[in-house]
Structure 1
């Protein structure tokens, strides 16, 4: 009988860390019929004073060759009822275990100072990660929110490992001045990025739900300087924007006052642009005199963009659209998913708990989901990897088809 990958997840809300660890280990181990090769642990910031005890407590109960994890403003996992739960602002611990035959695992921890500069050849990045591009690795990255050099790391990995899929998130502290934890095997780190490269018999597919809906039509940047849009369709950007807002419904106009974003098209050659083709970025400010608009990313002439609005309805519709598209692609059966959701989503956005995970489970039922609420989410748009905000990134794991 062929040995197949197996995944299991358990979530505990026991207020005692010992009890929570015992519960998640017992439940996940009992669900697997073969030894675990990988563990992923996510712990809520309610346990912040006890982060240093997590790995020793796990080591007492669990033997797993590779373990990564981090702290989050909330955690996501399978409760005792068998339902996926998103627990924000309360003590919770989520453990995912995976038995991965035919998969090579390589973990690493890098700090910003270790990163090659962006003019370096691919070899400098390959030496850092110690995995050959020919292995076609998939990456899971967990980084600290500050000075981790995550944007440079994403750019470097995209450059050195073309075609590799990268997902993950930034550990969140839950409150200002809160402490972060990154776990890597038996070590607790406070900064940098913990990464896992998976190669061999594993496919990682992504859904990156940025939670926005487009308004108006796609436009072209005709003049730009760094992150400042100086001309759109050869017109003053602010004038174009005012005309667009004037054409909206009353409800949309109200929304545009505080929830207006810009989507930058990632594929220069795609003719009909739709959701998922845009990288959503914040509007940082406008120059009332010259009418220029500054956004939270670099822009260049020739790029296409479209203004977007974000609210609970747009976020729900966007995730639904992407899940339907994923389902229509008829992917072979998924074994598990990892969910990296922004602390700005969840109950604060939807007014009720478990919204994104329930929607996900309605399209992909009965697979274990584990993850956390991030300070920034990592996932691809248009074939390149970015750090997002207000996004839910799902990494869907399965075996390779047809072998």
Structure 2
């Protein structure tokens, strides 16, 4: 008999932590026919005063060799009725358990002070994580929201592990000054990054929905300094932007007041740029006197940019576009080997954006049905765009886990 992978998720809204843990463990374990190798736990900030009890309570009821997780502004999981739900403003706990034959699992915890210099060799990053570069690992990262090293960590892992998929999110404290939690096996951490590396008989594919659409035309940066755009197409950026906004419809002009972003083209050689070809970044400010524009990333002369707008409709259409494309590009034309999925959504999405609950997860389940989904609402989302890994905002990142077919 072939030992196949199994992936299950259970979501509980029981207000008592003991009851919630008993609920998810009982439902998840009863859905497995083999012992779990991996556990992923996400807990809402409503339980903030009890984070230290989560791992001991789980250990009383569950034997699993590897477990990671964190706190979130909300959690995502599967109800007893089989529905995927996003629970944002209530006590909730999501537990994913997976039986993963043929998969090697390694966990690590790093803090910003431990990170090698960015000019260090790949070995320095491998020594940091303890994860070899071969076979190619897939990484799930859960980071503290105020860990200044996360961008350097992503850059270092991209460098040391070419070909690896890296995704995850920043734990959310659910409010200013709130405490957050990172779980790694039997330890609770308050800062740094907890990582899981999976290698062997598994592949992780990603959908990174940034929720924006381009407006106007692509423009070339002709002069810049760090994150400040000084010239666009040899013109004053603020003048270019004002001319663009004047050309928009009344509805788009209103949207540009609060939801205007910049997309940085990720492929310098692609002639025809379209939705999904950009890394979306915030506009941090403008200089009314000089006309420069500051954005939330480094920019250099020669790069192409395009202004973007974001709203609920655009966000929905963007995710649907990416899901349709994923479905069309399916490796074997089916989702037969898909075992489970993870969802890392910005706290700025969800019901606050769409005006109704469970939107992103519901759309995902429409295109990729009958796949257990677990995850949380993040303070920042981690996922690849254009072959490199970035920290995003206002994004939903999906990781789709598939068993590599052995024929």
Give the Cα separation in 2 of the matches to 1:273 and 1:393. Answer: 22
TM-score (ref. length: structure 2): 0.98
1:196 aligns with 2:225: no
Task: Give the aligned partner of residue 369 of structure 2.
Answer: 365
1:345 aligns with 2:349: yes
Task: Give the aligned partner of residue 35 of structure 2.
Answer: 35
Give the Cα separation in 2 of the matches to 1:401 and 1:270. Answer: 33
CA deviation profile, 1:48-79 (whole Å, cap 9, x unmatched) = 01101100110010000000000001000001
1:387 aligns with 2:394: no
Give the Cα separation in 1 of the matches to 2:151 and 2:180. Answer: 19
Q: Is the 8 A contact 1:133 1:160 kept in 2?
A: yes
1:355 aligns with 2:359: yes
Task: Give the aligned partner of residue 48 of structure 2.
Answer: 48
Give the Cα separation in 1 of the matches to 2:147 and 2:181. Answer: 15
Q: Is the 8 A contact 1:11 1:78 kept in 2?
A: yes
Q: Is the 8 A contact 1:169 1:374 kept in 2?
A: yes
Structure 1 151/356 Cα, relative in aligned 2: closer, same or farther at 3 Å?
Answer: same
Task: Give the aligned partner of residue 402 of structure 2.
Answer: 398
CA deviation profile, 1:5-44 (whole Å, cap 9, x unmatched) = 1100000000011110011001111111111000000000
Task: Give the aligned partner of residue 307 of structure 2.
Answer: 307
Q: Is the 8 A contact 1:265 1:304 kept in 2?
A: yes
Q: Is the 8 A contact 1:148 1:191 kept in 2?
A: no
Give the Cα separation in 2 of the matches to 1:357 and 1:183. Answer: 24
Q: Secondary structure at the match of 1:134?
A: coil
Give the Cα separation in 2 of the matches to 1:3 and 1:117. Answer: 43
Task: Give the aligned partner of residue 168 of structure 2.
Answer: 168
Q: Is the 8 A contact 1:148 1:193 kept in 2?
A: no
TM-aligned CA deviation for residue 331 of structure 1:
3.0
TM-score (ref. length: structure 1): 0.99
Task: Give the aligned partner of residue 88 of structure 2.
Answer: 88
TM-aligned CA deviation for residue 402 of structure 1:
4.8
Q: Secondary structure at the match of 2:77?
A: strand
Give the Cα separation in 2 of the matches to 1:70 and 1:146. Answer: 14
Task: Give the aligned partner of residue 26 of structure 2.
Answer: 26
TM-aligned CA deviation for residue 147 of structure 1:
2.6
CA deviation profile, 1:162-204 (whole Å, cap 9, x unmatched) = 1100010000001111000000000000000000000001100
Q: Secondary structure at the match of 1:270?
A: coil
Structure 1 148/221 Cα, relative in aligned 2: closer, same or farther at 3 Å?
Answer: closer
Give the Cα separation in 1 of the matches to 2:304 and 2:323. Answer: 25
Q: Secondary structure at the match of 2:134?
A: helix
Give the Cα separation in 2 of the matches to 1:7 and 1:307. Answer: 40
Give the Cα separation in 2 of the matches to 1:64 and 1:282. Answer: 41
Give the Cα separation in 2 of the matches to 1:106 and 1:88. Answer: 30
Task: Give the aligned partner of residue 3 of structure 2.
Answer: 3
- The more displaced of 45-54 and 129-138 is 129-138
TM-aligned CA deviation for residue 148 of structure 1:
4.6
Structure 1 216/401 Cα, relative in aligned 2: closer, same or farther at 3 Å?
Answer: farther
Task: Give the aligned partner of residue 184 of structure 1.
Answer: 184
Give the Cα separation in 1 of the matches to 2:216 and 2:381. Answer: 27
Task: Give the aligned partner of residue 99 of structure 2.
Answer: 99
Which 5+ residue runs of structure 2 have no aligned equivalent? none
1:290 aligns with 2:290: yes
Give the Cα separation in 2 of the matches to 1:243 and 1:253. Answer: 11
1:79 aligns with 2:63: no
Q: Is the 8 A contact 1:10 1:78 kept in 2?
A: yes
Task: Give the aligned partner of residue 66 of structure 2.
Answer: 66
TM-aligned CA deviation for residue 132 of structure 1:
1.5
- In the alignment of these two chains, the number of paired residues is 403
Please report the RMSD computed on the Cα atoms of aligned residues, expressed in angstroms: 0.9
Give the Cα separation in 2 of the matches to 1:195 and 1:20. Answer: 25
Q: Is the 8 A contact 1:111 1:148 kept in 2?
A: no
CA deviation profile, 1:233-262 (whole Å, cap 9, x unmatched) = 111111111111111110000000110000
Give the Cα separation in 1 of the matches to 2:274 and 2:342. Answer: 25
